[in-house]
Amino acid sequence: MIAKLFSELGLSPEMLKAIDKLGFEKAAPIQGEAIPVLMAGKDVVGQSMTGSGKTAAFGIPAVEKVDAQKRATQVLILCPTRELAVQVSEEIHKLAFFKRGLHALPIYGGQSYERQFMGLKQGAQIVIGTPGRVMDHMRRGTLRLDSLKMVILDEADVMLNMGFRDDIEFILQAVPPTRQTVFFSATMPKPIQDLIGKYAREPVSVRIQQAAMTVPTVEQFYYEIDRRYKIEALTRLIDIHDLKLGIVFCNTKRMVDELVDHLNAQGYSADRLHGDMTQAMRDRVMNKFRKSGLEFLVATDVAARGIDVDDIEVVFNYDLPYDVEDYVHRIGRTGRAGRAGRAISFVAGRELFQIRNIERYTKMRIQRAQVPTLDEVEEARAGSFLDKIRLTLKSGEFKVQESKVARLLEEGFSSTDIAAAALHQLAGGETAAAPAVKTKGSFAERPERSERSERPERAPRAEYAERPERRAYERPARPEPRDYREERAPQRREYRDERPARAYEAPPRARPPAKENSRPAPPATAPVTAPAASPATMAPAAAKPAPLSFKEKQFKAPFPRAAVPKASRATPADQTRLWMSVGTEHGVATGDVVGAILGETGLPAQTVGTVDIRERHAFVDVSAEHANGIIAKLNRARIKGNKLKVKVA
């Protein structure tokens, strides 16, 4: 098929300018065939593989047919998921960049009604939405379709599989009979054909013939492995291929959550995407994934439909899809725009027959492969490490370190030993003198039993006498018991005998007061040698102790009134310890805390240190310079539906 230029398709100067701004010159096959037919006003049924440019194929004619001066809905685009609706809306905005007065509005569940009411009231000419929310606005009377010129069903087969057939028929029956109807999909099963025969008028079929249903630039492999070892196989494949950006598909939301926790616990940057998440959470995860803030996105089929990221290196089918058509949609996320991609599937037991069905449907062979061993993974890591060293040597960015190497050479170390020691440190090794870090409950750092039995025997006690400090020390003789009663009595007698006699006389007794409240008369003056003790000069009486509690009485020892704080672990000097208001009773795990911090702030994974989750709260060490920003972001976030409260611990 000969590729066509966009300038040959009869488009307006504004549209050609927008296409040129996007950097496109030649039209994709589906675009070159569908755009002229749609511009002629005919109904179209378009079928092409995922990632072939179907959005622009119907988006360009939709923008061209809109009258920007008329404030009414003229084009309706139905999409199966929120993510796909947002993606199509963004594409429409790019194509309509130079067409003044044209507004496109996405409407979907989970978004504020007020925002959608305002956009519809202002007269959005192109509405992109999910069937349920579109039907809801039609019943409310906020979406009027009297002026509709074109209705487009994107990923029609997916909408039918999701149970939207009744909603779609309700919408198609309400639109004007003169509208133009467009169906676009990667596959055309019989339910779609029935729908086309019922609502389309003499449709023109635009089908891009291909030898296979999948992208030819995608390498496809499958690994036959037991379910228990899938996580280990996944991490080995990530390490041996040095993968940085990929999608992992699971069949259930529970499996998605469990896998994300496992990946985060092993040091990979991963986040989830499934139907139980709020729209704000899904938008946050997708924005982060598009900006390569995540290494791996773990998702279900429905939530991941519409993901359009060009640089995805790999798609993992952690669970093999139930439907062969879902396999086509899944691996279509990689190998886009002519780039190379990789699709890897895990197969267990009878799922091997499903692989054969997929091969017959896609007309492509899926290669069988063996899970790499630990030695192969280590060798691959070493090779990747040496490649980085070679690049550094070729770039010459190590010149500033020559003075340090010269100092080590002057100290007598050879150049090969210095290089080997530097590589050892870069590879994560420790010096021999460094103490081994022991983990509670781990026996990894303990010597083997044979090593422990070969320890030198303890020296006999006779050798200790040769040490001077030991010879100088002599145990003193034990004193004889003393009778302190006999010693105390004479002392008391001597004290009484030698005590000087009193040198003052008692003052005369004062008269009784005349009135109850009157003060006593001052005593007569008398010679006083020593001042008498008075209440004013006496020490204040001790405060009355608080009554003991039942527990204190029971143990016969007073408990401290204020609980002494438990000694906490040491926090590094360059980190700040934060307190969070969620714990294990809220269903929160380490991966949830790390994911929330990295997702809300967009900071690198090195920002987060140790995470200590308790029953009702958690502690986390974060970089001191970002602590205030993390607190501000997290105090507006939620984890597992629980609103967060974060402060410095």
One domain, residues 192 and 223: no
The structure tokens listed for 91 are 């594409």
One domain, residues 52 and 183: yes
One domain, residues 168 and 225: no
The structure tokens listed for 470 are 């030991």
One domain, residues 194 and 224: no
Q: Which residues contact 298 (CB under 8 A, 6 or more apart)?
A: 247, 248, 250, 256, 259, 260, 263, 270, 271, 272, 273, 318
How many CA atoms lie less than 13 Å away from 2 in the CB half-sphere?
Answer: 3
The structure tokens listed for 614 are 């308790």
One domain, residues 178 and 302: no
Whether residue 422 is contained in a domain is answered as: no
Q: What pLDDT does residue 451 have?
A: 38
Q: What pLDDT does residue 558 have?
A: 45
Q: What pLDDT does residue 134 have?
A: 94
Residue 145: closest CA among 122, 161, 125, 131:
125
Place of tokens 């870069």: 426
Whether residue 481 is contained in a domain is answered as: no
CA dist 317 and 446 (Å) reads 40
Q: Which of 315, 344, 375 is the last residue of a domain?
A: 375
Whether residue 250 is contained in a domain is answered as: yes
One domain, residues 200 and 51: yes
Per-residue pLDDT tens for 46-86? 887 655 678 889 999 999 999 988 999 999 999 988 888 88
CA dist 114 and 140 (Å) reads 13
Q: What pLDDT does residue 374 have?
A: 83
Q: What pLDDT does residue 343 have?
A: 92
One domain, residues 182 and 84: yes
Whether residue 399 is contained in a domain is answered as: no
Q: What pLDDT does residue 351 have?
A: 80
Q: What is the largest CA-CA distance in the chain?
A: 134
One domain, residues 115 and 236: no
Per-residue pLDDT tens for 371-405? 888 888 777 777 777 777 777 777 776 766 777 77
Whether residue 629 is contained in a domain is answered as: yes
CA dist 288 and 284 (Å) reads 6
Q: What pLDDT does residue 460 have?
A: 44
Q: What pLDDT does residue 440 have?
A: 35
CATH number at residue 579: 3.30.70.330
Residue 61: closest CA among 10, 105, 112:
10
The count of residues in the chain is: 649
Residue 18: closest CA among 56, 70, 65:
56
One domain, residues 170 and 226: no
Contact by Cβ (8 Å): 175, 151: yes
Number of domains making up the chain: 3
Point out the residues of the chain with pLDDT beneath 50: 211, 429-473, 487-498, 516-518, 524-543, 551-568
Q: Which of 330, 346, 375 is the last residue of a domain?
A: 375
Contact by Cβ (8 Å): 55, 88: yes
CA quadruple 312, 314, 315, 319: dihedral positive or negative? negative
The structure tokens listed for 90 are 């963004």
Per-residue pLDDT tens for 42-54? 999 988 765 567 8
Sheet of strand 218-224: strand arrangement: 270-273, 296-299, 246-249, 314-317, 341-347, 218-224, 367-368
- Which backbone phi and psi does 586 adopt, to 5 degrees? -95, 5
DSSP 300: -
Residue span of the structural domain in which 619 resides: 575-648
How many CA atoms lie less than 13 Å away from 327 in the CB half-sphere?
Answer: 29
Q: What pLDDT does residue 47 have?
A: 83
One domain, residues 281 and 304: yes
Whether residue 478 is contained in a domain is answered as: no
Place of tokens 């303890």: 458
One domain, residues 176 and 38: yes
Whether residue 464 is contained in a domain is answered as: no
CA dist 609 and 573 (Å) reads 12
Place of tokens 């905005």: 93
One domain, residues 192 and 296: no
Q: Which of 375, 392, 414 is the last residue of a domain?
A: 375
CATH number at residue 165: 3.40.50.300
Rg of the chain over Cα atoms, rounded to whole angstroms, equals 41
Q: Taking the chain, what is the end-to-end CA distance rounded to the nearest angstrom?
A: 66
Q: What pLDDT does residue 462 have?
A: 43
Whether residue 548 is contained in a domain is answered as: no
- Which backbone phi and psi does 595 adopt, to 5 degrees? -65, -40
